[in-house]
Amino acid sequence: MMKTLIKNGTVVNSTGTAQADVLIDGETIAAVLAPGSTLLGFDLEQNVDTVIDAKGKYVIPGGIDAHTHMEMPFGGTFASDTFETGTRAAAWGGTTSIVDFVVQYAGENVLDQYKAWHEKADGNCAIDYGFHQILSDVQDSSLTAMDELINEGVSSFKLFMAYKGVFLSDDGQILRAFQKGAELGAMMMMHAENGAVIDVLVQQALAAGNTSPYYHGLTRPWQAEEEATHRAIMLANLTGAPLYVVHVSAKQAVEQITAARDNGQNVFGETCPQYLYLSLEEQLGASSEQWGDFEGAKWVCSTPLRSREEGHQHHMWQSLRTNDIQMVSTDHCPFCMKDQKDMGIGNFSKIPNGIGSVEHRMDLLYQGVVDGHITLERWVEVTSTTPARMFGMCGRKGVIQPGADGDIVVYDPKGHTSIGVGKTHHMNMDYSAWEGFEIDGHVDTVLSRGKVIVDDNQYLGKAGDGKFFKRGLSQYLT
Ligand code: URP
Ligand code: ZN
Ligand code: ZN
Ligand code: ZN
């Protein structure tokens, strides 16, 4: 068994920061020690296989991205990252675990789809991975599948209030799934947008000749997100199911979550880097020489980017500080402009929805520390510790302590990262939604279960390093 010592670093957990050495034995953290400690009289440095000097650097638990869609079939195509390319890009950016979504479309069998997702992922991942299960039509067999999936370590289920004929569950179906979730103690996840309202607004916009990506934003207004968020909260309240609202972008939706939490309900909110940094005006409304006003397609995702004039981004950073929003995932769902996004030229509703960010989440949120939005410890909490607790990985992931997996990032606050194609771009997409972003920090070394997979701008891992993890029930519930 390989022993590794990370010495002289500043260990940052969500609970605090300390100068400490970290000893990893095989795949597991064995000890967190005062700097320069010996163990039972042994000089550690002389008795390990590898020493990593982290002087002047942060030693943090590896990132956990609890919302990704590798090679997801969607909008007539597939998300362009495979499990292999997407998890490798994640590793480059200091993310050592993902939780991806198994898709069940209406008419499909849930357990068949679950098996199919293992076939796609197993043996191909660079980092550890787990699954959430998407439910669309809620068949009787879907409810019994939930019992089986809990035993498989799939303890969270996502439903959609939008995308009629594709993903949408009606309120009765949601109610039945929530009842089952409450019985099992499973986390019920919701894509909260009023799909019927959106469908009408989209048809009206297209009929009026408003076909550019900007109208993707205007036809998915905050009212549709607020209303659906409220409805999901009420259905959770009625059934007693814990509720996790994914990709929250509107401040009014946050306010619904805040009110429910103040009311004592187990309701949680996730946001994504795009809702902290990007906007309707600057990105969806962008134009370029190459793409004209279709440039905005690069940022078509749902929920959509919101107006900066209305203050959503500012409110989102604040909510992250105050724990009204608990964590940040990417909703990584990349599509290339050529042959994928360009299917929507002349009709924004045909643009496959999604943004690729799995590589940049840790850096983008670290920049939030530099810019004074969140503390160093909160950075670790929203990107790693809370995802672990929220989704039943507590103790194993999301923390630097004895017994936890050796998933560790050495992060250099004096380093620098320039994001963009041809610079730090390892995702399988022909553009970057984050082109030109400059980060005052750098992922130096990444360990996945004790193995160094990224070091000094070199990738040292391989497909298949990552293993499927079974998750327990959420450890975030009260
Ligand atoms: O635009 C998005 N978010 N694409 C991925 C699917 C989803 O709704 O999460
Ligand atoms: Zn969604
Ligand atoms: Zn998603
Ligand atoms: Zn560096």
Which atom number of ligand 1 is nearest to the Cα of residue 354?
1
Q: Is residue 471 part of a domain?
A: no
CA distance 471 to 443: 27
Instruction: Report which residue type is found at 284.
Output: L
Q: In the chain, what are the helix, strand and coil shares in percent, each to the nearest 5?
A: 35, 25, 45
Probe residue for ligand 1, chosen from 69, 189, 429 as the CB with the greatest number of ligand atoms within 8 Å:
69
Probe residue for ligand 1, chosen from 81, 331, 351, 355 as the CB with the greatest number of ligand atoms within 8 Å:
331
Digitized pLDDT (tens) for each residue of the chain, 478 residues in all: 899 999 999 999 999 999 999 999 999 999 999 999 988 888 999 999 999 999 999 999 999 999 999 999 998 999 999 999 999 999 999 999 999 999 999 999 999 999 999 999 999 999 999 999 999 999 999 999 999 999 999 999 999 999 999 999 999 999 999 999 999 999 999 999 999 999 999 999 999 999 999 999 999 999 999 999 999 999 999 999 999 999 999 999 999 999 999 999 999 999 999 999 999 999 999 999 999 999 999 999 999 999 999 999 999 999 999 999 999 999 999 999 999 999 999 999 999 999 999 999 999 999 999 999 999 999 999 999 999 999 999 999 999 999 999 999 999 999 999 999 999 999 999 999 999 999 999 999 999 999 999 999 999 999 999 999 999 999 999 8
Q: Is residue 37 part of a domain?
A: no
Would you state the pLDDT for residue 110?
A: 98
CA distance 139 to 397: 34
Nearest-CA residue for atom 9 of ligand 1: 331
CA distance 242 to 232: 11
Number of helices and strands (H, E) in the chain?
13, 23
Q: What is the ipTM of this complex?
A: 0.94
State the number of CA atoms in the 13 A half-sphere of 276 facing the CB: 26
Q: Is residue 447 part of a domain?
A: no
Q: Is residue 418 part of a domain?
A: no
CA distance 151 to 16: 34
Which atom number of ligand 1 is nearest to the Cα of residue 246?
9
Give the pair of three-digit tokens for residue 444. Answer: 């130096």
Ligand 1, residues at Cβ distance < 6 Å: 69, 191, 247, 301-302, 331, 333, 353-354
Q: How many domains does the chain have?
A: 1
Would you state the pLDDT for residue 238?
A: 98
Q: Is residue 379 part of a domain?
A: yes
Q: Residue 347 is part of which domain span?
A: 64-390
In the reported structure, the alpha carbon of residue 351 is separated from the centroid of ligand 1 by a whole-number distance in angstroms of 12
* Greatest extent of the chain over all pairs of C-alpha atoms, in Å: 78
Would you state the pLDDT for residue 225?
A: 99
Q: Is residue 437 part of a domain?
A: no
Probe residue for ligand 1, chosen from 302, 303, 329 as the CB with the greatest number of ligand atoms within 8 Å:
302
Nearest-CA residue for atom 3 of ligand 1: 302
pLDDT in tens, 117-144: 999 999 999 999 999 999 999 999 999 9
Nearest-CA residue for atom 7 of ligand 1: 302
- Whole-prediction pTM value? 0.98
In the reported structure, the alpha carbon of residue 438 is separated from the centroid of ligand 4 by a whole-number distance in angstroms of 14
**Does residue 230 contact residue 263 with C-beta atoms inside 8 Å?**
no
Q: Check which CATH number belongs to the domain holding 88 and give it.
A: 3.20.20.140
Would you state the pLDDT for residue 39?
A: 85
Q: Is residue 199 part of a domain?
A: yes
Q: Is residue 267 part of a domain?
A: yes
